[in-house]
Amino acid sequence: MYAQGWIGMPVEQIPTPALVVDVEKLDRNLATMADYLARVKTNIRPHAKTHKTPAIGHKQMRAGAIGLCCATVGEAEVMVYSGIPEVMIANEIVDPLSVRRAVNLARQARVLMIVDDPENVRNIGAAARQYGAMVDVLVDLDVGQGRCGARSLEALVELAREVERTKGIRLRGVFGYEGHVQFIPDRQERTAKGQDANGRLVRAAKELSGLGMNIEIVSGAGTGTYDIAGEFPGITEIQAGSYIFMDGTYQKLGLPFEQSLTVLATVVSRPAADIAVFDVGLKGISPERFNPSVQNCGTGAIEVKSLSEEHSVTRLSDAADPRPGDKMHFIPSHCCTTVNLYDSMFVVRQGRVEAIWPVAARRA
Amino acid sequence: MYAQGWIGMPVEQIPTPALVVDVEKLDRNLATMADYLARVKTNIRPHAKTHKTPAIGHKQMRAGAIGLCCATVGEAEVMVYSGIPEVMIANEIVDPLSVRRAVNLARQARVLMIVDDPENVRNIGAAARQYGAMVDVLVDLDVGQGRCGARSLEALVELAREVERTKGIRLRGVFGYEGHVQFIPDRQERTAKGQDANGRLVRAAKELSGLGMNIEIVSGAGTGTYDIAGEFPGITEIQAGSYIFMDGTYQKLGLPFEQSLTVLATVVSRPAADIAVFDVGLKGISPERFNPSVQNCGTGAIEVKSLSEEHSVTRLSDAADPRPGDKMHFIPSHCCTTVNLYDSMFVVRQGRVEAIWPVAARRA
């Protein structure tokens, strides 16, 4: 709460490195997504792994989301205890403690889980009966990503049968995330591969329905495929997360969302004419796809050449001449893993701090 | 404090992903370093950026450290407020708020700062006079890393003169970190390049001493060069940090330290015979140099092929057959950035949790 003393101050005065969100851009991103989905009549259950921040989860609910996706039981707990009425834990939950937590959470809110292993199904069912909770379950189909999920329709049918046989849990639908398609830069290729993945999921859903199973939910898609899945007949909801912030990776796709998230950093050294060192490194921005870019509001380009734990070493073009103490905004290549490095974010409107939001589910 | 309920439990029962430190190995690493440095009569001011954990900082002090290095003012504050009597902030501190914090901290403990910019020197001096603190200063020489630090002896002499001219601060020595040498796998090449860097630093120290300046401290080295600098005439202290934990990068160097730090993870999916997916990803282990390795205590090799936010996808050799729910220890390629992802670490002795230490300076 001490940090709240920054509220009302110009963003340039906050301590760096700092996670900064432009709330006007964030709100426009929420509206852009909501308008689109209203038009195509598809639901969104936005992925809270991107922000881990209840204040943003509630903004998403007010913008029409039917619930949130979470990546871990801890995230789901934080969102439920902050008042979110329905969460889908969009990853397999296996170890006994985590299963116990997820099932107990289902006594406090609607909880959906995904499964890809029959024994896990039986364990979740046993826990649900033990604690007297009803858990909704989706069966997970690998639609080409090659991570979790049943690898064949036969395996998926077996899994769904196991869910139906198991007391204490209830089959609600199918789940399939086309993670391998999200970043394909060519729009045509992305569309083709996204439709292929969506097609596999929808065909599986129809197969299960045809067997008399209860398939209300057909869930897929991320920010890179939101409008491919959004218009694909049979997909009932999408799981996009990054659209609220954007990042260097998604910027390359020409999406209608604005870059609302940056990391503010300070020049701490100018050891040579063409080098500036900033105070943000691997502990303050994630460079796992490529190095961050720098929004230089002066003249000349500033290119990040390397990052160490607390430093970015940048190369300056002739015209660029930042001085020690100057502050600039960095754009990460991946928003989700960058947010995960911070306990709070500075919420800025028109250059002044309006709020500080706790990233409450950071390591929950 | 709720988490303390895990104390006494077998490590396999703690929730994953979890940061785990084997305290017996940690203690042996501390003893190995202390024994070596006693023999060569060189001091150590271990770098707290590696652990960000007061409990470990105090172990280092008890093992003979003359103080701690910190990477940020926040780390220094946490260490001082937990009782560490002397800290060196081993990075340039430039923005006015951070300078104010560092100088005020110098009223509560001995604080050493490093500088590479004359204007920064004057700003630190002005703040020191304003708040009535005495700050010790080292001038930073680039010894080949190409990050911060004066790029020439002339620039270093100018900088040292500026420090001597400035009231409120006191010149104590020279600082030069040979970061570019740490990971050179070949021992001979590492030694040659380390000695070259140490030589530059010691020559600079002698030059400043010859000009009548006060050079008590000549500080360099990390874990990869601890015994190169430790035996180099004129180096008075080393700044190694990773030797307490080790990691996949330092393991390749054949150092006498043990791997005390791991990340415990659970198998959450076995979607195919040769694939296992674990519940640790980019948010729980840093793969910035290369993918983590898996300590498989059964038979067969488990190789990490890719990481997403909460998953590691591994390829199994024929003999390996981990089941969903099985737990294994991962070794990160970089310990410091992995520790930075956690708020606490599970301290294990003989397979049982003995303590939970807060990583109190994580995002301080």
Residue-range domains of chain B with CATH:
42-246 (3.20.20.10), 261-358 (2.40.37.20)
Residues of A in contact with B13 (CB under 8 A): 97
Q: What is the pLDDT of residues B151-187, one digit of tens each?
A: 999 999 999 999 999 999 999 999 999 999 999 999 9
User: What residues of chain B lie within 8 A of the CB of A142, using their CB?
Assistant: 271
What does the pLDDT average to over A84-108?
96
Provide the strand spans (E) within chain A.
18-22, 43-44, 68-70, 86-92, 110-115, 135-140, 169-175, 217-220, 237-238, 261-272, 275-278, 293-295, 302-307, 312-316, 327-331, 344-349, 352-358
Name the percent of chain B lying above pLDDT 70: 100
Contact B179/A325, CB-based, under 8 Å?
Answer: no
Residue B46: is the preceding peptide bond cis (ω within 30°)? no
Task: Say if residue A140's pLDDT is above 80.
Answer: yes
What span, in angstroms and rounded, lies between the C-alpha atoms of A267 and B319? 52
Task: Say whether pLDDT at A364 is over 90.
Answer: no
pLDDT at A2 over 80: no
Mean pLDDT of A41-67: 98
- What is the C-alpha separation between A45 and A56, in angstroms, rounded? 13
Chain B residue numbers touching A96 (CB-CB < 8 A): 325
Rounded to whole angstroms, how far apart are CA atoms B357 and B247?
19
The residue-averaged pLDDT of A178-199 equals 97
Whether the per-residue pLDDT at A210 is higher than 70: the answer is yes
In single-letter form, the type of residue at position A345 comes to M
Q: Give the residue-averaged pLDDT of B70-87.
A: 98
Nearest CA-CA distance, residue A280 and chain B, Å: 11
Mutate to test the interface with A, among B283, B289, B290, B310 (most CBs of A within 10 A): B283
Mean pLDDT of B74-88: 98
User: In this prediction, what percent of chain A has a pLDDT beyond 90?
Assistant: 96
**CB proximity list for B19: less than 8 A, separation 6 or greater:** B261, B263, B338, B339, B341, B342, B344, B345, B346, B359
Phi, psi of A223 (to 5 degrees): -65, -35
Those residues whose C-beta lies under 8 Å from the C-beta of residue B193, and which sit 6 or more positions away, are B144, B178, B180, B181, B184
Distance from CA of B39 to the nearest CA of A (A): 31
The residue among B78, B94, B312, B336 with the most chain A CBs within 10 A of its CB, best to mutate, is B94
What pLDDT score was predicted for residue B2? Answer: 73
Query: pLDDT at position A1, please?
Result: 56
Alpha carbon distances (Å) from A153 to A116, A195, A204, A297, B272: 12, 18, 7, 53, 14
pLDDT tens, A271-325?
Answer: 999 999 999 999 999 998 999 999 977 788 999 999 999 999 999 998 999 999 9
Nearest to A310 among B91, B95, B97 (CB): B91
Chain A positions in Cβ-Cβ contact with residue B95 (cut-off 8 Å)? 15-16, 266, 279, 325, 327
Sign of CA dihedral B280, B72, A326, A7: positive
Q: How many angstroms away from the CA of A90 is the closest CA of chain B?
A: 11
State the smallest CA–CA distance between residue B98 and chain A in angstroms. Answer: 7
Rounded Cα gap, residues A26 and A95, in angstroms = 36
Question: Rg of the Cα trace of chain A?
Answer: 22
Predicted confidence (pLDDT) at residue A159 exceeds the cutoff of 60? yes
Q: Which residues of B touch A91 (CB under 8 A)?
A: 268, 279, 310-311
Shortest CA gap A328–chain B (Å): 12
Mind telling me how many Å the CA of A165 is from chain B's nearest CA?
A: 21
Mean pLDDT estimate for chain B: 96
In the DSSP assignment, the letter for residue B323 is: P
pLDDT of residue A324: 95
pLDDT at A73 over 80: yes
Q: Assess whether the previous peptide bond of A17 is cis (omega < 30° from 0).
A: yes
Q: How many CB atoms lie within 10 A of CB B55?
A: 18
Q: Average pLDDT of chain A?
A: 96
* Contact assignment for B179 to A149 by CB distance below 8 Å: no
The CA-based angle B265-B271-B275, given to 5 degrees, is: 60
Restricting to B residues 102-131, those with a Cβ less than 8 Å away from any Cβ of A are 116-117, 119-120
Is a pLDDT exceeding 70 seen at residue B127?
yes
* The pLDDT of residue B47: 98
* B78 and B71 Cβ atoms separated by less than 8 Å: no
- All residues of chain A having their beta carbon less than 8 Å from the beta carbon of residue B148 are 268-269, 271, 277, 311
Using DSSP's 3-state secondary structure scheme, residue B237 falls into strand
Across the interface, which of A16, A142, A309 has its CB nearest the CB of B95?
A16
Residue B112 CA to residue B138 CA, distance in Å, equals 7
The residues with which B316 forms a beta bridge, in sequence order, are: B302
- Which tokens go with A96? 């006994």
B286 contacts in chain A (CB < 8 Å): 282
| DSSP code of residue B150 | B
CB spacing of A308 vs B179 below 8 angstroms: yes
Are the Cβ atoms of A310 and B272 closer than 8 angstroms?
A: no
Helices (H), A106-258: 118-131, 153-165, 187-210, 226-229, 248-251
Rounded to an integer, the average pLDDT of A149-169 is 98
- The answer to whether B92 faces chain A, any CB pair under 8 Å, is yes
- Rounded to a whole number, what is the distance in Å from the CA of A108 to chain B's nearest CA? 20
| B340 touches A at CB < 8 Å | yes
DSSP string, B165-207: HSTTEEEEEEE---TTTTT-SSHHHHHHHHHHHHHHHHHHHHH
What pairing do the DSSP bridges indicate for beta strands A43-44 and A237-238?
parallel
Put simply, whether A212 touches B (Cβ < 8 Å) is no
Query: Touching check for A346 and chain B: CB below 8 Å?
Result: no
pLDDT at B298: 79
Which residue on chain B is closest to A179 by alpha carbon? B308
Helix axes A73-81, A96-105, angle to 10 degrees: 20
Q: For residue A18, list its beta bridge partners.
A: A264
A4 falls in which pLDDT band (50, 70, 90)? confident
Confidence class for position A199, pLDDT limits 50, 70, 90: very high
